[in-house]
Structure 1
Amino acid sequence: MGIARTEEIEWLAVHDKADRIMSRTANWIAGCLIGGACAPVVAAGPDSVDTGAGWQFALTPYLWLPSVSGTARFTLPNGGADASTGPYNYLQNLRFALMVQGEARKGDWSIFGDAIYLNFGRHGSNVNAFNTSLGSGETQRSVETSLSGGLVEVGGGRTVVQRPWGNVDAILGMRYLGVKETLDASFSASTEGGASANPEVHVSEVQNIVDGFAGVRGRLLLSGDGRWYVPYYLDIGTGSSKFTWQAMSGIGYGAKWGDVSLTYRYLAFYGSGDQLVQTLRFNGPSANVTFRF
């Protein structure tokens, strides 16, 4: 009876230790993703990198609620117009949204992706028309803009720092933004002859932006078991747009099946010349759920 009891105690101790090891390992496999969003993909915890392990995968559907604002340059007959594009009221103007991120990791190396589609309805805006056949400096009577677009990011990274406090991944990637913006306006203007004119304007334009970026991502551990952590992400880039950058941080919790995190994400594009997108900014909170397998 005593021997059986001792064996049972030893078995429970071994089982409990194995369960703790597996739980800790599972919590660090495949990081949470930015930003959003998106939030963006972030690296796994410091003890999760096993150079002998196979591929590990993570899928993160998320809900990003950004404020969207910026300036678009539309081409009009004999001239153009700069129109504001927001800030959009997310809950009132959003028609459709799709947001998902994914990651594959093997040892120190990882690849990741992020896909977003947003479609906003009409929104009251301001416009400054210039160098048109109607003369310059028209005062608008009413102006509405709409915005829809898709964002796709792909990249790869390598863990360059592993410490008890967390990890740092260096990343490189490409960001594609396809955006369609529409301007509907009626102007109140005076021609050179002094006659009053009330033109109606409807124009819809599309721009495809492809930028490369470089940055860092990872997490800072808040607890000894690695369950509570701060995910972070930062990148800068250029290409079709003059400049683009993205940042994310927040707080996350790792469970056996995956991670849950709340983050704040900022993404911006800055154009130049006669590009449709002069400025475009997305910033707001994101709720993320990561499933690992």
Structure 2
Amino acid sequence: MNRSANGLAALLIAVCSTPSLADDPGSAETDAHWQFALAPYLWLPSVSGTLRFTLPRGGADASTGPYNYLQNLRFALMLQGEARKGDWSIFGDTIYLNFGRHEGSVNAFNGALGSGETQRSVETSLSGGLVEVGGGRTVLRQPWGNVDAIVGMRYLGIKATLDVLYSASVEGGPSVNPNVHASEVQNIFNGFAGVRGRLLLSGDGRWYVPYYLDVGTGSSRFTWQALAGVGYAARWGDVSLTYRYLAFYGSGDQLVQTLRFSGPSANITFRF
């Protein structure tokens, strides 16, 4: 549960990008009609955290660190969308990531890897997806921008593997032990509430700062997500560069103990 968790982190991702889809607060003439937006995007987060694996004689916590996308990422899919009518909106976001094997470190407990063990090599792999759906209502419109109140549900499904080759020190001297392999899956469902919108940087509303913040709980003890950046609104849609942060905090013997994703995101939004 090392840098592989990073991959998961990327997974997690989902609703954070959604804020960039917030409608132009000055478009009052479109309030009576449905507007739709579709946004493929690229998010390159750094992932860190701790995964807890259950082993025959105990358990092991694998720590994650910075993940190398170019070396370890096998597949990625990121897409978000929104439907809006006046002050009301429905939005969704989906992400799927698959990371290959990656070196890591592990701390065993309850004698899971024997006594006095010293890891020779630790590898983890991780894949998963994140889906978020929600709804919102514009509660404030001003010349400087708008604020939407939002609620929704975030799902994170991950599969992680742990492979350890270690040598154990025993009374008779050091002896080589066979590999330890563990593979686990966790499905996480969390409700959330927060705000999103944009702050206008120019009088014509073309340049703006998209922002997003939510907090939630459910399968996770606590989860939160934040986003901010800069965007430009054209007639056909928007282009924005943002920085996103998404975190999950578990408890007990859950596979995901902590998982944090943070990094830049490039978004293109098509409106119709």
Residue 170 of structure 1: which of 149, 153, 165 is its match?
A: 149
- What SS class does the counterpart of residue 19 from structure 2 fall into? coil
The alpha-carbon deviation at position 138 of structure 1 amounts to 2.3
Equivalent residues of 1:85, 1:147 under 8 A apart = no
Q: What does 1:139-288 align with in structure 2 at a 5 Å threshold?
A: 139-191=118-170, 196-288=175-267
When structure 1 is superposed on structure 2, of 116-125 and 184-193 the one drifting more is 184-193
1:190 shift after superposition: 2.4
Greater shift, 50-59 or 245-254, is seen at: 50-59
TM norm structure 1: 0.84
Q: Deviations over 1:151-205 (max 9, x none)?
A: 0000000000100000000000000000011101111112466563423111110
Contact kept, 8 Å, 1:35 with 1:264, in 2: the verdict is: no
Counterpart of 1:94?
73
1:27 aligned partner: none
* 1:39 CA displacement: 1.9
Aligned to 1:115: 94
Question: Is the counterpart of residue 124 in structure 1 residue 76 in structure 2?
Answer: no
Q: Give the Cα–Cα distance (whole angstroms) in 2 for the partners of residues 168 and 133 of structure 1.
A: 51
Q: Taking structure 1 as reference, are residues 168 and 52 closer, same or farther at Cα in structure 2, changes over 3 Å only? A: closer
Instruction: Count the aligned residue pairs.
Output: 260
Q: For 2:18, give the aligned amino acid.
A: P
Corresponding residue for residue 83 of structure 2: 104
Residue 65 of structure 1 and its aligned partner are, at CA, apart by 0.7
Q: Quick check: 1:234–1:246 contact (8 Å CA) kept in 2?
A: yes
Map of 2:7 onto structure 1:
none
Residues of 1 paired with 2:54 and 2:13: CA distance? Answer: 32
Closer, same or farther: CA 280–238 of 1 in aligned 2, 3 Å: same
State the AA in 1 paired with 2:244: R
CA distance in 2, matches of 1:228, 1:249: 13
Residue type of the alignment partner of 1:69 = S
CA contact (8 A) 2:14 2:95 kept: no
Unpaired segments of 5 or more residues in structure 2? 1-11
State the one-letter code of the partner of 1:68.
Answer: V
* Worse-superposed segment, 192-201 or 98-107: 192-201
Alpha carbons of structure 1 residues 123 and 195: separation in structure 2 relative to 1, 3 Å: closer
The aligned counterpart of 1:8 is none
Aligned residue for 1:39, secondary structure, equals helix
Give the structure-2-normalised TM-score.
0.91
Question: Residue 19 of structure 2 aligns with which residue?
Answer: 41
Question: Deviations 1:200-219 (Å, cap 9, x if unpaired)?
Answer: 11111000000000000000
Deviations 1:19-51 (A, max 9, x none): xxxxxxxxxxxxxxx976742234212212458
CA distance in 1, matches of 2:76, 2:155: 17
Tell me if the contact between 2:16 and 2:226 (Cα under 8 Å) persists in the aligned partners.
no
Output the CA distance in 2 between the equivalents of 1:151 and 1:289: 20
> For the Cα contact (< 8 Å) 1:39–1:264, is it kept in 2?
no
> Contact (CA 8 Å) 1:36, 1:264: kept in 2 or not?
no
What is the identity, as a one-letter code, of the residue corresponding to 1:39?
S
SS at match of 2:71: helix
Return the index of the structure with the highest Cα Rg: 1
Per-residue CA deviation, residues 212-235 of structure 1 (Å, 9 max, x unaligned), is 000000000000000000000000
Q: Which residues of structure 1 form unaligned runs of 5+?
A: 1-33
Q: Distance in 1 between matches of 2:138 and 2:103?
A: 46
Tell whether the 8 Å contact from 1:188 to 1:196 is kept in structure 2 after alignment: yes
Contact kept? 1:35, 1:263, Cα under 8 Å: no
Q: Which has the higher strand share?
A: 2
Secondary structure at the residue paired with 1:223? coil
Structure 1 position 281, deviation (Å): 1.1
Aligned-residue Cα RMSD (Å) equals 1.8
Conserved in 2, the CA contact under 8 Å of 1:130 and 1:137? no
- CA drift of 1:64 comes to 0.5
